[in-house]
Structure 1
């Protein structure tokens, strides 16, 4: 079993409940033998709450196993709208803002 430092995955444009199981499976396979997984989300991707829930769950799992999950670019378009509508942004910690928005938050 090879242990790579970083893997990336280009996600499909449809990031929704219909294909979230396939996205989860792809992420799990890519993450298996690497320390970091970078998610590439297209600006015009259509996301729903299931995608945000999957990513949040993956972040928790990664942190618990000493791994890192990142977005290749800040959340935008549909993903950003889901974060706003779901009230996530209002409740962001500094770590959340760094992950989703690539923002450094200073006290």
Structure 2
């Protein structure tokens, strides 16, 4: 296992139809690396299944002593979906660091 972050760039579409392959690549990265940095295109077609996948990865990483992060703060379709689904209204400080990079130093 390595501490060098694995950079995982997801491509459009990030929807339930493609959740299986996205889950496999994310889980594989978490098994082989202590840190995984996820890139989400700002203009991606994205649905709630992808948010659920990222949340499940965060929980798994936390219990396995690993770290999952976004390469940049949520923007575009991802930020819009966070807002529409109610994620933004009940965020903890940890959630705000993960999704919005609040308090994260570059």
TM-score (norm 1): 0.92
2: CA distance, partners of 1:74 / 1:46: 17
Residues 56-95 of structure 1 aligned to structure 2 (within 5 Å): 56-95=55-94
Once the two structures are TM-superposed, the CA of residue 68 in structure 1 deviates from its matched residue by 0.2
| 1:30 counterpart SS class | helix
| 1:46 counterpart SS class | coil
1: CA distance, partners of 2:90 / 2:43: 25
Please report the RMSD computed on the Cα atoms of aligned residues, expressed in angstroms: 1.2
* Residue segments in structure 2 that go unaligned for 5+ positions in a row: none
Counterpart for residue 48 of structure 2: 49
More strand per residue: 1 or 2? 1
TM-score (norm 2): 0.93
Deviation beyond 3 Å, 4+ runs, structure 1:
none
More helix per residue: 1 or 2? 2
2: CA distance, partners of 1:87 / 1:64: 25
| 2:16 counterpart SS class | coil
